[in-house]
Amino acid sequence: MTEKSEGFFDAVIVGAGIAGMYMLYRLRELGLSTRVIEKASDVGGTWYWNRYPGARCDTDTMEYSYSFCEELQQEWEWSTRYPTQPEILHYLNHVADRFDLRPDILFNTQVQSAYFNEGTGHWQVQTENGAEFTAQFLIMATGCLSTPNTPPFDGIDTFTGPIYHTGRWPHKEVDFSGQRVGIIGTGSSGVQSIPVIAQQADQLIVFQRSAQYSVPARNRPVDPELVAEIKADYAGFRARNRLEYAGQLSHIPRNDFSALSVASVERERIYEERWQTGGFPFFGSFNDIMRDQKANETAAEFVRRKIRAVVKDPKVADMLCPTHTIACKRPVLDSNFFETFNQDNVLLVDIHSVPIQEIIPTGLRTADTNYELDTIIIATGFDAMTGTLLKIDIRGRKGLRLQDKWSAGPLNYLGLSISGFPNFFTITGPGSPSVLVNMVVAIEQHVEWVADCIDYMRGNEKKSIESILAAEHEWVDHVNNVAEGTLSPTCNSWYLGANIPGKTRVYMPLHDFPAYVKKCEELVANGYEGFLFSS
């Protein structure tokens, strides 16, 4: 296809989710001509695509929002502790309207390739419909969990009913009344959707490969007193959260002592108190849950006891009790997940012991049973952190392909910059705290860092910036050493790329948000240590 030139922009941003929208806002403030290219028909990113029943955020509502505009955070009213997907999307639409972002966003357009032209020092960005954009800066705001993973089940194309992936849910409402529904996967998406679908479907069959620890979300209407208290000093609340390990929950901080330092009765009391609070504070019951296997086991066993207390059939309860390290996979919050398995119309199938063999026209077949189904739901997650970047044919200096550069894992600096790829930034890229942090907090920090960097370059007549290769090797080692100091790498999580067959096993997100922020600030103060500029 011949390319139609869309002209030159100071910056092209790929993606109009939370990151792309804020990046656009910041670059406009700096006076840069900017074009955002977005595959979807509107803003929202994750919250545009993940419309499955029960989809909601699991970060407290007063924290899962932009902090950059005091009026915005004062005027917006959330309804519940954990907002639903429609409510978050409504909020993001409000932001797009309020700051008039849409005129600079090109929707329904997928970026196919981008290459750095060494002659001009510009990026050439091509879209699937044959348009070409030229830009000084190329900023990937493509999200950490945006490329759905659909395992290549044999026979998947033969199924005669609908198949839905939770990460690509249709925009129209899906009615499961009177249906036999099968769902594969019990991560956050499965755990959120199963109780809701089970209310509607005639029969729901849950195909579980790994049992899942889950903590009750205890979602409820927002507490007006707490909202008023936070809004009286929203900036202070945000600042305190940014000092937390995961950039959130400063009002319920982690207890700074070991699970093994207290008597078992006291330990139980603390777990129970946080279990009743609901949500992520449970994992802050003690300071060594993620550092000491014995401490971890006390939390794991507490949750297993809770599962056994809820699930009436002991055999089903056993199947639902995980044995791996708790929280080495991304923790999950639920509303009535385990309770759902007491319903007569819900069946749990263990596909770890008896794997799925194929999908057949009328359902799904394991080694010992044919399951007749009207609809199949795939809740098998994403090719996380690198999937979307590597789907685009990105070439830096001397035609170096990002796919080749990252063949042994995502080698970069700070999750922000890649040597050989000048003026190319990744927002919450692999190697940054990203998914281990409240995503909005991580995004804002990266967007502000990139905007400040571009501002610095313009003020100091620098044409390009890229990281130094040696700094990248050190950085990736650092990210993995930090992870090795925790229990995080001890199971097959998407943090490690272990959910995608053949993907290089490297721990991708970085623990400890405040330490990371400090590092980002220090290296700037030291004249952008680890980076190379050209003038």
By the criterion CB under 6 A, which residues form the site for ligand N01? 57-58, 145, 151, 166, 184-190, 192, 209-210, 330, 351, 379-382, 435, 494, 499
CB of 334 to ligand N01, least distance (A): 10
Q: CB of 241: closest distance to ligand N01 in angstroms?
A: 17
CB of 8 to ligand N01, least distance (A): 37
Report, in Å, the least distance between residue 98 CB and ligand N01: 24
Nearer to ligand N01, 189 or 296 (CB): 189
Cβ distance to ligand N01 smaller for residue 402 or 439: 439
Residue 285 Cβ, how far from ligand N01 at the closest point, in Å?
20
Please, which residue, 387 or 530, has the CB nearer to ligand N01?
A: 387
Residues in the chain: 535
**Residue keyed to tokens 């799904």:** 364
Q: Which is nearer to ligand N01, 12 or 206 (CB)?
A: 206
CB 210 → ligand N01: shortest distance, Å? 3
Contact 111, 126 (CB under 8 A): yes
Least Å from the CB of residue 325 to ligand N01: 13
Between the alpha carbon of residue 93 and those of residues 60, 61, 86, 228, the distances in Å are 20, 17, 10, 24
Alpha carbon 196 to chain centroid, angstroms: 22
CB of 332 to ligand N01, least distance (A): 7
- Which CB, 149 or 480, lies closer to ligand N01? 149
Chain position carrying tokens 């907090």 = 441
Query: What span, in angstroms and rounded, lies between the C-alpha atoms of 503 and 384?
Result: 10
**Nearest to ligand N01 of 379, 427 (CB atom):** 379
Q: Which residue has the tokens 């403030």?
A: 29
Alpha-carbon distance of 457 to 465, in angstroms, equals 8
Closer Cβ to ligand N01, 299 or 351, answer by number:
351
Q: Using alpha carbons, select from 156, 149, 151 the residue that is nearest to residue 358.
A: 156
Q: Residue holding tokens 């130094």?
A: 468
Q: Least CB distance from residue 355 to ligand N01, whole Å?
A: 8
Nearer to ligand N01, 387 or 422 (CB): 387
Strand partners, 182: 205, 376
Distance of alpha carbon 315 from alpha carbon 197, whole angstroms: 23
Quickly tell me which residue has 């623990």 as its tokens.
Answer: 511
For residue 461, give the amino acid letter. E
Number of residue whose CB is nearest ligand N01? 187
Closer CB to ligand N01, residue 32 or residue 356?
356
For residues 446 and 96, give the distance between their C-alpha atoms in angstroms, rounded to a whole number: 20
CA distance 382 to 150: 8
- 420/509 with CB nearer ligand N01: 509
- Tell me the two tokens of residue 107: 């929707």
Contacts of 266 (CB under 8 A, 6+ apart): none
d(CA 286, CA 481): 22
Spatial distance between the Cα atoms of 412 and 47, rounded to a whole number of angstroms: 27
- List Cβ neighbours of 78 (8 Å cut-off, separation of 6 or more): 61, 62, 65, 87, 91, 222, 227
Residue with tokens 């199924």: 159
Least CB distance from residue 184 to ligand N01, whole Å? 5
Alpha helices (H) in 382-512, listed in sequence order: 387-391, 402-405, 439-459, 469-484
Amino acid at 375: T
